Amino acid sequence: MKLSHRITNITGGGSDGWDVFNKARAMVRAGVAVTELTQGEHDIRTHPVILDAMDAAARAGKTGYSAVPGEHDLRDTVATRIQDRTGVATTRDNVLITPGGQAALFAAHNATCDPGDTGLFIDPYYATYPGTIRAVGAVSKPVQAHAEDGFQPRAADIDAAAEGAASLLINSPNNPTGVVYSRETLEGIAGVCQDRDLWLISDEVYDTQVWEGTHLSPRALPGMVERTLVVGSMSKSHAMTGSRCGWVVGPQEAIAHLINLATHTTYGVPGFVQAAGNFALNAGLWLEDEVAAPFRRRRALAQEVLQAQNVLRPVPAQGAMYLMLDIRATGMSGEDFAYALLDAHHIAVMPGESFGVAAAGHIRVAMTVEDEAFVSALNTICDFATGLANQRAAE
């Protein structure tokens, strides 16, 4: 039987870019000790106080159907959080609770793209972005940011790609680069969206992990509130990746239609998960700071290690839980380097090519193992790269 083009075309008919990750996981299953610096998964678990709130809610009966748009108290909390952080008036009618940020991305593209429309996204990109756009029947089209610009996307490049497009997806703080988009960058993006009548989908799941600069939500820029859908999540801010609790924030009309979509797809998020999320968001910044602290600390440790060598060139890590390292001095592609590193030292990193053309010749290193193991692995990566570069110079 023939399957739909939409479902068979989600990955574009090729690799999803995670072959090194899959090989590393296969090695682990075979009993090989691998230092995994691949996935954006915290090395700490969800805080016990959040789990206590989740348990209490479940035992109190929040195990049945929950309100499809999200429980009023959580939607109110998210709305207040967004309003306080952006200065933009926001109510529960602007909020849909979703099963994590990925479901929010899927919902946002359903709201903005008809089948056959073009959905733009910035390259380098999180691995699911093009597939999410294809999954709604739209055509995914990358717009390259450039290493020489610090991976800040150029408004002129977006404008040149925007003919016939319906939406633009951005992510700041950025995965995989760790770049935080500047006000100038975001104002340029906003200008293109208004000139080209584009919806802007802003993935802000790393907004609590900013090490340099300031996070600015484009929804707060003039003329953008009615054309911006913001994606947020509890996953990165509160180490609740498995709980699957996120949201879309946008214009009331768009949210009303997205509630209809949720009714016919996810049918809501478990009430005990929402209760835990509401507790966590109201518990205070100490929880967010505790989750972010290891990455802030490891970024500083990484800077010390990287300053002691001159082969790997780091992209300034301004936010998120990753380092993006330029390995082109070794003469290898990011993919070849990652495979060679895994085979030689059992250290798994993500090739830049997994995240698009713009990140070719780079690797992404997740800062997601304890400090000593992280520093040891990063020193090994530096030594390995230096050896390859020296060998290249001698040839």
Question: Per the domain annotation, does 56 fall within a domain?
Answer: no
pLDDT in tens, 199-219: 999 999 999 999 999 999 999
Residue 12: pLDDT band with limits 50, 70, 90: confident
Residues 336 and 255 in one domain: no
SS3 of residue 19 by DSSP: helix
Q: What is the DSSP letter of 182?
A: P
Q: CATH number for the domain including 318?
A: 3.90.1150.10
Question: Per the domain annotation, does 78 fall within a domain?
Answer: yes
Query: To which H or E segment does residue 118 belong?
Result: strand 118-123
Instruction: Choose the final residue of a domain: 283, 298, 331.
Output: 283
**Residue 201 to residues 126, 150, 227, 260, 387: CA-CA distances in angstroms?**
14, 21, 9, 19, 43
Residues 207 and 275 in one domain: yes
Q: What is the rounded CA–CA span in Å between residue 31 and residue 81?
A: 45
Residues 257 and 299 in one domain: no
Bridge partners, residue 350, by sequence: 364
Q: For residue 253, what are the contacts with CB-CB under 8 A and spacing of at least 6?
A: none
pLDDT in tens, 43-63: 999 999 999 999 999 999 999
SS3 of residue 245 by DSSP: coil
Amino acid in the structure at residue 139: V
Pair 280, 135: CB distance under 8 Å = no
Q: What is the rounded CA–CA span in Å between residue 248 and residue 201?
A: 9
Question: Per the domain annotation, does 54 fall within a domain?
Answer: no
pLDDT in tens, 71-129: 999 999 999 999 999 999 999 999 999 999 999 999 999 999 999 999 999 999 999 99
pLDDT in tens, 314-364: 999 999 999 999 999 999 999 999 999 999 999 999 999 999 999 999 999
Q: What is the rounded CA–CA span in Å between residue 96 and residue 74?
A: 10
Percent above pLDDT 70 for the chain: 99
Question: Per the domain annotation, does 140 fall within a domain?
Answer: yes
Q: For residue 170, what are the contacts with CB-CB under 8 A and spacing of at least 6?
A: 121, 122, 153, 181, 189, 200, 201, 202, 203, 218
Residues 136 and 249 in one domain: yes
Q: Cis (ω within 30 of 0) for the bond into 218? A: no
Q: pTM of the prediction? A: 0.96
- Domain residues for 182? 62-283
Residues 165 and 259 in one domain: yes
Residues 117 and 31 in one domain: no
Question: Per the domain annotation, does 88 fall within a domain?
Answer: yes
SS3 of residue 220 by DSSP: helix
Q: What is the rounded CA–CA span in Å between residue 367 and residue 296?
A: 9
How much is the pLDDT for 129? 97
Q: Cis (ω within 30 of 0) for the bond into 270? A: no
How much is the pLDDT for 11? 85
Q: What is the rounded CA–CA span in Å between residue 136 and residue 112?
A: 10
Instruction: Choose the final residue of a domain: 239, 259, 283.
Output: 283
Residues 267 and 385 in one domain: no
Give the count of domains, the chain. 2
State the greatest distance between any 2 C-alpha atoms of the chain, in Å, as a whole number.
70
Residues 237 and 90 in one domain: yes
Residues 80 and 116 in one domain: yes
Instruction: Choose the final residue of a domain: 228, 258, 283.
Output: 283
Q: For residue 277, what are the contacts with CB-CB under 8 A and spacing of at least 6?
A: 74, 234, 238, 240, 243, 245
Question: Per the domain annotation, does 50 fall within a domain?
Answer: no
Residues 92 and 180 in one domain: yes
Residue of 279, 187, 281 lying closest to 232 (CA atoms): 281
Residues 143 and 72 in one domain: yes
Q: CATH number for the domain including 222?
A: 3.40.640.10
Question: Does the structure show a pLDDT above 80 at 300?
Answer: yes
Question: Per the domain annotation, does 57 fall within a domain?
Answer: no
Residues 290 and 378 in one domain: yes
